[in-house]
Structures are given as structure tokens and as C-alpha cells.
Amino acid sequence: MTQNEFLEIINPAKDKMYRLARRLLTSKEAAEDATQEVILKLWGRREKMKEYANVEAYTMTVTKNYCLDQLKLKYNNNLRIVHQNYDSGLVSIQKQTELNDELDWVEKIIRELPEQQQVVFQLRDVEQYEYDEISEITGMNQTAIRVALSRARKKIRESLTKKHEYGIRRS
């Protein structure tokens, strides 16, 4: 496989690889490093990549495993969620501050979820992967994925509800 053929295969998945790494690792720099390391690993395995029916799922699996290895090695023990998909241009400063606080709270809740729930939540609700793709990436069966996702969403919902109830009582 030539370098150009390899890049044609990797480039479409590179942004998704970075976002998954960013979700699992603390900083942009760590995610960039992880993405580069995974691409180097994939370059070393480029001849085997032809054997995979879904190369994107394979690249995401390698990315996930690399990031989890990094976390286990204590290079990074802080997980973050970053969500910047809201339009802050037309929002008042107070509303923007409230949105930022809410996102920070959601980040905190997600960091407290079990690792498996974090990964499933990221892949399904943020990256919009289908269940069969998530199954291929994580090695989990679809029922387990649905259960983990349901539990993650429930925990997030309950934590946000408690926060808002507490805030209303304090007012």
C-alpha cells in the first residue's frame, strides 16, 4: 500500500479519531499526540488494513484502545467532555455563563461515569455511531451497549435534576 492509498483511507476517519481521543484524554495536546501515534501504528499495519471490511471502525477501535492504554499507564487520569455546539453569538452574558456552568456540570457528571459508559455515550450521542458500529469498535454486544447508554443517560439526567432541584430550593 502506498502512502497516498493509506492517506485516502485514514483521512476520512482522522477527525473522528481525534474527537474520540479528545473525549478520553485530558487535553488537546494529548489527543493530538494520541491521534498521531495511532496513525503511526496504523501505518505499520497498513497491509493488514485491507483485510477489514470497515476500516473506520478498525481505526476507532485502535484509537480507543491506545487512549485507554494511556489512561491505564497514568499518563492521563482526567477524562473530559467538551461540547461547543451551541451558538454563543446571540446569547446574553448571563445566559452564556449559565450554559458554560451547565456544560461544566455535565462534564463533571460524565467524568464520574464508568469508563465503558463514557465511551458508549461518546460514540453514540456525540459521534452519532450506529449500534453495530459501536459493537465493532468496543467489542460489546448491542444489548450491553444499549444498557450502558441507558445507564449513562439516566445518571446524567438524575444528576442534573438533583442539581436543579437543589438550586431551586436555595433560591
Go through the chain and tell me how many residues it has: 171
Q: pLDDT at position 168, please?
A: 53
Q: pLDDT at position 84, please?
A: 44
Q: Do 159 and 125 fall within a single domain?
A: yes
Q: Do 92 and 171 fall within a single domain?
A: yes
Instruction: Measure CA 88 to chain center.
Output: 23
Note down pLDDT in tens along the chain; length 171 residues.
788 888 888 888 898 999 888 888 878 888 899 999 999 998 888 888 878 888 888 889 898 888 888 877 754 344 444 444 444 445 567 777 877 787 888 888 888 899 899 899 988 888 888 999 999 989 999 999 999 999 999 998 888 888 777 655 554
Q: pLDDT at position 90, please?
A: 53
And the C-alpha cell for 107? 462534564
Q: Is the Cβ–Cβ distance between 25 and 76 less than 8 Å?
A: yes
CATH number for 21: 1.10.1740.10
Which range of residues forms the domain containing residue 73? 1-80
Q: Is the Cβ–Cβ distance between 52 and 72 less than 8 Å?
A: no
State the DSSP code for 130. -
Count structural domains, the chain: 2
Residue the block writes with cell 432541584: 165
Q: pLDDT at position 36, please?
A: 92
Residue that is last in its domain, among 80, 115, 134: 80
Query: What's the sign of the alpha-carbon dihedral 93, 94, 96, 100?
Result: positive
CATH number for 90: 1.10.10.10
Q: pLDDT at position 75, please?
A: 42
Q: pLDDT at position 143, please?
A: 94
pTM of the entire predicted model = 0.52
